[in-house]
Structure 1
Amino acid sequence: MRVFLVCMLAFGVGFANSQADEYYKLAKSYMHTRDYTQSIIYWEKLVELGDARGFYGLGYYV
């Protein structure tokens, strides 16, 4: 049972990291094309995941 829980935890962490990476790429892409509304949406999604890059990215708009 422990092995199963450890595997599920590892999968969850890996999925969250890959999702955060995708959000980061999208936020940067929209930022470079000057679509700031879309960029902010993805920075906020990073913040919701607790990713420091989201807080840093939103700092540009303050």
Structure 2
Amino acid sequence: MAVICNTCGLPDDLCACGDLDKDSTHIIIRLETRRFRKKGTMIEGLDPKINNLGNVAREL
């Protein structure tokens, strides 16, 4: 018997919860001035469980 996803109710091989979570995320990217006038990029809203943060950081 196939295992059913608790979130969407579909079998695990057809489950699309991960894709839906990626589509519904809201990411905020802002530039901040830190100590000694150094600029830093602040990224908020990324979930490390869903996203591969290394690849996202490389692309940004």
Larger Rg: 1 or 2? 2
TM-score for both structures, normalised by structure 1: 0.41
- Normalised to the residue count of structure 2, the TM-score between the two structures is 0.42
Q: Which has the higher helix share?
A: 1
